Structure 1
């Protein structure tokens, strides 16, 4: 049996190398290791078929890929041409934000390339596992997982481009599905695997809870995905009932808990945090990345005194519009003093003091104003030490500016003018804990990247209740999530008094900012055509991204197979 299995895998991997040709890109290979197998099956099977189906998720969830198309295209994040020198990238981030993206847009193409290869890998794994699953129980579990992954990847493709790929055999041409056909295909795929999924291998693998959660997300967005250009989405009672049903299954399973400390959900050791339902596994030695931590932070910011080469990059910031939604919600009270989700001063040290490396920690949440941190005499130079061997802490010098008093001092206003694009513009986000092992600020991430967590099940259930006319029920669910953040009682968010669609949309922003959801939420709540900082385009056809021109050209031998989305 073992020799037969190895020969099957070798033949499948040979076919897989040919399969990759239908998405041309230079992809960085990231493969999971023994974390999948636990020694239950031959490592050839895990490494050769199952691990590749998961293995590209960290790279897909990078700041310049899925994050960029979901957050920078929305009212939450903005990335100007910093100082006229950094993050210009031929205007691709400006195009994303202003909804002027085209079929040759780099970030959109990268997302397409990754997702099509990820779907191909699941198909290969399914072909390898299907005959083995007839006699091997563990192979049946892995088969269910990769089928569920195929549905999940297709769900993202449907959200971004309005299509899904139905493909069961590695050598066949995918069938392109749209609208209700795509929604129903993804639904039935998820439903078909639930019985074979496990409950005790998450959050980095797909479990029953993960499939239920993704089904809730599917039904919540089904009205949009069936008719993405509609002026009045039809949120049917049947769909909303399904959202509530699947949310209840996760909530009532007893497997998950809301985290008392909000930012613990995004800690380096969050793999064991019971709020996570499904996540991108980035435990040490799994080749993860720290880019969700370094992306927004100042070039003069260092997250670990042991690594003087590991700094931020002055990338994306929050828009003034998004910041003002916090201000408007709390009035005269500073949001940092009202809501545990806004900011956590994890490192409380006096100005011009000293700190030991083991005591150094990075503040979390939304950074505003004058910043303090590790001291040095220039970018990426050794840190200044105190006489007792600890590290000097003080005002962060901005080494990109010549003035002696140039400090990192974040301003609220940020835009695409030269003044609004400077290095100090825009409040920044540090939601994920800075890696303790990243020696260049970018690599070796340890925190699992959230795909879905328990709070979202409550919030999705709240939205379904609200769309059915049950505002008190929706209010109770949202207030339950708010009240759960009790680790710092002085900033546990107070209960809301009422619930409307606008309040729920605002609350989703507070709970899920920087979590790859904002564009999808804006479309569902009818706000993607609104005006915000540096964005006035109200074309409803921008709800979907253009299919990359390279993919259209590559399918030209099959007329009518891959049709470009309208307006591109």
Structure 2
């Protein structure tokens, strides 16, 4: 049912993209499955879109066959290993938005905030980032203007290949942005580095910030115009949204405020013709590919993207206790993920008004979390479903795998970033316009203007981001930007491994470089405090 995804990839395209990459993490080295090379595949431009699809699929699936059997990376259960599943856990589990009841390995350390450089889930996130970067580097390396010309690829075909290359550069910038945000000073490798075993140098956070910024600006003119690409593929608006995020967090990343730049690029996105989905709930259903609000999703399809990570995880894992899996279009719940009272309390309204974004399952659930491993401690969240807006089940009639896409970038986030940048003092925007954007979200939430606000503060914006964007992979970054992730001034249940929560060390604002990579690469220095 999706326009662009794994259904575009042949076995040849998958295998070649996998085999020709050079990893900068030693334990990701792969052995060829077939006797094929970059030369034999890239000589035929008909393969380019298939390989492009594999690069996009790197955000969603775990390996060469779904849902398991030929994993991309080693060192962790394949179902755990997908990019989106690991990214979501890293962004949500250490915060007030989510707890998970499973005791797999070092997974509980995320919410306790007791992780070390030996945490295998942090290592999986790191390894997945660099696997994705390696895929991107190979595509970019093999589609340079010179190589296209040497293969006799000209005209419309060459123009199309260059457009693909710009999209892959966006995807690489996205992964480097995630590395910048989560790990800070990291290994750096591009298409200009030789293929094979080598030890990459470590770049600084400031250098990586500049690189991501320069890449996104460099490809702007080569990307398809906003809202004109196939669904699920990057366009100019995706690059503008990522630049907005980069600039909004610049004070954290490089110690320089760039709120004016954030306003500039948010305004570009807003002016591109996206509109809010009339119903909030439809953004998280099996046909959310129809939403006019979606800027850049990670796409899933119950027939073609069979994985135990990604949205399969996000639809199944929150279902447990007395919840009925059929209400979510699935064959069974995994009884894992809930939220804390902090998020529930954000929706408290003494006037009795109902915010439709409050999607909690409370029957048999306790608001207080006495034991994280007990599913009924903590309210469940019903946000993601494998059911269409018309009530139909997803395409996988077994109920195992889902059609719901993950809204990585959507318009509501851009509205809130614009408003925050204005409140923080950026130029080029107005308070009146910021209020209009925020109230548009609240009018959708309440169904009328009764929830409108007349003034904006930073505290309110942080709360509104949680109300609007919870469980969409923003919370860790948001709390760090607002100085509340480690600080004792804001706590939640089991923060710092204490039932009522406590402040933790500031070094936790960055994850550690995995110990395995520190040992393997003498060029790397560990992040402070680990």
Q: Give the structure 2 partner of residue 209 of structure 1.
A: 237
C-alpha distance 176-16 of structure 1, shift in aligned 2 (>3 A): farther
C-alpha distance 181-304 of structure 1, shift in aligned 2 (>3 A): same
Residue 167 (structure 1) aligned with residue 127 (structure 2): no
Contact 1:319 1:413 in 2 (8 A): yes
Between the aligned partners of 2:445 and 2:168, the Cα distance in structure 1 is 34
Between the aligned partners of 2:303 and 2:290, the Cα distance in structure 1 is 16
Residue by residue over 1:35-91, the C-alpha shift from the partner in whole angstroms, topping out at 9 and shown as x without a partner, is: xxxxxx9442222x32232122014666751111110101111124xxxxxx1124x
Q: 3-state DSSP class of the match of 2:295?
A: strand
Q: Pairwise CA RMSD of aligned residues?
A: 2.8
Between the aligned partners of 1:62 and 1:295, the Cα distance in structure 2 is 17
Q: Give the structure 1 partner of residue 206 of structure 2.
A: 180
Larger Rg: 1
Residue 275 (structure 1) aligned with residue 293 (structure 2): yes
- How far is 1:322 from its partner? 1.7
Which of residues 369, 374, 380 is equivalent to 1:428? 380
Residue by residue over 1:413-443, the C-alpha shift from the partner in whole angstroms, topping out at 9 and shown as x without a partner, is: 1133xxx6433221111212225244665x4
Q: Give the structure 2 partner of residue 515 of structure 1.
A: 472
Q: Give the structure 2 partner of residue 104 of structure 1.
A: 118
Which of residues 445, 453, 461 is equivalent to 1:496? 453
C-alpha distance 143-133 of structure 1, shift in aligned 2 (>3 A): farther
Residue 410 (structure 1) aligned with residue 365 (structure 2): yes
- How far is 1:97 from its partner? 1.1
Which of residues 22, 44, 47 is equivalent to 2:47? 44
Instruction: Give the unaligned 5+ runs of structure 1.
Output: 1-8, 28-40, 81-86, 228-233, 343-364, 371-408
Residue 224 (structure 1) aligned with residue 252 (structure 2): yes
Between the aligned partners of 1:262 and 1:324, the Cα distance in structure 2 is 19
Which of residues 325, 331, 335 is equivalent to 2:346? 325
Residue 22 (structure 1) aligned with residue 25 (structure 2): yes
Q: TM-score, normalised by structure 2?
A: 0.78
Between the aligned partners of 1:250 and 1:287, the Cα distance in structure 2 is 29
- How far is 1:473 from its partner? 4.3
Q: Give the structure 2 partner of residue 95 of structure 1.
A: 109
C-alpha distance 520-61 of structure 1, shift in aligned 2 (>3 A): farther
Between the aligned partners of 1:527 and 1:19, the Cα distance in structure 2 is 39
Contact 1:244 1:461 in 2 (8 A): yes
Residue by residue over 1:188-213, the C-alpha shift from the partner in whole angstroms, topping out at 9 and shown as x without a partner, is: 00001010111312541110111111
Residue by residue over 1:299-358, the C-alpha shift from the partner in whole angstroms, topping out at 9 and shown as x without a partner, is: 654433898x8211111111112212222xx1252xxx521211xxxxxxxxxxxxxxxx
Which of residues 548, 551, 568 is equivalent to 2:514? 548
Residue by residue over 1:500-543, the C-alpha shift from the partner in whole angstroms, topping out at 9 and shown as x without a partner, is: 11100000000000001100000001110132211124211100
Q: Give the structure 2 partner of residue 71 of structure 1.
A: 92
Q: TM-score, normalised by structure 1?
A: 0.73
Contact 1:485 1:493 in 2 (8 A): no
More strand per residue = 1
Between the aligned partners of 1:182 and 1:427, the Cα distance in structure 2 is 39
Between the aligned partners of 1:133 and 1:414, the Cα distance in structure 2 is 58
Residue 466 (structure 1) aligned with residue 488 (structure 2): no
